């Protein structure tokens, strides 16, 4: 995710919300949907891993995204019945891509060792690696790392989806959604990954952040279109005859179109991050974050105009993270403050 700078202090009314809501965030009803929450750990004031897992359990949050194999978190997840998306961090990709023994060691230490008591749903091999976003040094390692992790998972007798998480900057065309296509300068990177996923019948994980699109284009994107509050169609796709009332749907459907054009019509999409910050940026208020996340959670139960059905989604994030740099909106995506107080009421029911 991109970053920007700001002091990011909460508005006065937030203190009242913290006092009244505390841990009274609505219990999560997972019937008919699969909406998890990302557990970022870039902070020096966060609760213990066991406290965090206990909070997920108390709220009946069904799934967690963990960005790297923190051993305390894996131990705390034991017996929790929480489904886990476990990340292989970018700085581990080269070693795993270059050595099957390194891949085996990683899988044995972080997956097999916990597989009898932790419900692994995905292994996300790399996060937002791209030829065009500043971390291109990892591009050549993503697919071979996926292949080696997949081989190690299979050799261990486990059935866990191996995929990767990308960002929407890989799209060269996203408007209208039916014309969505990946950038020509990323095709040599993403096309083989799509072929791997199609061959294994696995989805692509995508971090979808309407907030950043809105922030960069406030003159042409309305806040209501970004927050799911538009009362009528904003974008009419002349090629598909589908209408779009929110930017999230338009982005996801552009991804579906891009996958189809790249030979991945059978590859599904899992939204591995989405949310709205409460401070530090443009329209970053507690009220807007509450509106976005509540509307999102209800909306993804029905999919998008192009693809009906449940769209598996992970809300970003469980907590504010005070050590993300540079300081700014990146520090304020949490539903909770680090002392486990709810910043606003969220209903997953």
From the candidates 128, 167, 202, 330, which is the catalytic residue?
A: 128
Q: What is the pLDDT of residue 292?
A: 98
Q: What is the pLDDT of residue 326?
A: 86
* 209-235 confidence digits (pLDDT tens): 999 999 999 999 999 999 999 999 999
Q: What is the pLDDT of residue 60?
A: 86
Spans of all domains in the chain: 12-331
* 45-94 confidence digits (pLDDT tens): 999 999 999 999 988 899 999 999 999 999 999 999 999 999 999 999 99
The CATH architecture assigned to 12-331 reads Alpha-Beta Barrel (3.20)
User: What's the rounded Cα separation, in Å, for the pair 346 and 344?
Assistant: 6
Q: What is the pLDDT of residue 348?
A: 66
Contact by Cβ (8 Å): 178, 259 = no
Asked if 128 is an active-site residue, the reply is yes
* 309-345 confidence digits (pLDDT tens): 999 999 999 999 999 988 899 999 999 999 999 999 9
Asked if 273 is an active-site residue, the reply is yes
Would you call 210 exposed, middle or buried from its count of C-beta atoms within 10 A (0-12, 13-18, 19+)? Answer: buried
From the candidates 167, 273, 312, 329, which is the catalytic residue?
A: 273
Q: Which residues contact 57 (CB under 8 A, 6 or more apart)?
A: 80, 82
* 125-171 confidence digits (pLDDT tens): 999 999 999 999 999 999 999 999 999 999 999 999 999 999 999 99
Confidence of residue 30 (pLDDT cuts 50, 70, 90): very low
Residue 273 bridge partners (DSSP) = 207
Residue bearing the bigger pLDDT, 11 or 201: 201
Q: What is the pLDDT of residue 170?
A: 98
Q: With 80 as the cut, is the pLDDT of residue 31 above it?
A: no
Confidence of residue 34 (pLDDT cuts 50, 70, 90): confident
pTM, full prediction: 0.91
Q: What is the mean pLDDT of residues 173-194?
A: 97
* 277-301 confidence digits (pLDDT tens): 999 999 999 999 999 999 999 999 9
Q: What is the pLDDT of residue 347?
A: 80
């Amino acid at each position: 995710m991109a970053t920007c700078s700001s002091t990011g202090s909460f508005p006065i009314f937030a203190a009242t919300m913290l006092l009244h809501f505390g841990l009274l965030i609505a219990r999560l009803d997972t019937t008919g949907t699969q909406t998890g929450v990302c557990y970022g750990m870039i902070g020096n004031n966060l609760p213990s891993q066991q406290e965090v897992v206990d909070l997920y359990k108390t709220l009946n949050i069904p799934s967690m995204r963990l960005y790297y194999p923190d051993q305390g978190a894996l131990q705390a997840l034991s017996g929790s019945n929480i489904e886990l998306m476990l990340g292989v961090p970018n700085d581990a990709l080269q070693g795993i891509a270059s050595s099957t023994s390194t891949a085996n060691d990683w899988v044995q230490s972080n997956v097999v060792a916990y597989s009898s008591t932790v419900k692994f749903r995905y292994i996300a091999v790399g996060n937002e690696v791209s030829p065009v976003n500043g971390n291109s040094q990892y591009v050549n390692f993503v697919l071979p790392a996926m292949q080696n992790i997949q081989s190690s998972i299979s050799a261990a007798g486990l059935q866990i989806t191996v995929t990767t998480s990308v960002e929407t900057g890989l799209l060269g065309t996203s408007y209208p959604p039916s014309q969505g296509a990946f950038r020509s300068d990323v095709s040599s990177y993403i096309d083989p990954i799509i072929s791997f996923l199609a061959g294994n019948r696995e989805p692509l994980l995508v971090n979808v952040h309407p907030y950043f699109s809105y922030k960069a284009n406030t003159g042409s994107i309305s806040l209501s279109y970004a927050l799911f509050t538009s009362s009528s169609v904003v974008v009419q796709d002349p090629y598909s005859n589908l209408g779009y009332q929110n930017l999230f749907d338009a982005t996801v459907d552009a991804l579906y179109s891009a996958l189809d054009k790249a030979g991945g019509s059978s590859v599904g999409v899992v939204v591995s991050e989405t949310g709205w910050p409460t401070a530090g940026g443009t329209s970053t208020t507690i009220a807007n974050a509450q509106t976005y996340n509540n509307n999102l959670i209800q909306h993804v139960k029905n999919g998008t105009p192009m693809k009906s059905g449940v769209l598996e989604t992970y809300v970003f994030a469980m907590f504010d993270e005070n050590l993300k740099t540079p300081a700014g909106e990146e520090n304020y995506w949490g539903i909770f403050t680090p002392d486990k107080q709810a910043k606003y009421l969220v209903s997953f029911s």
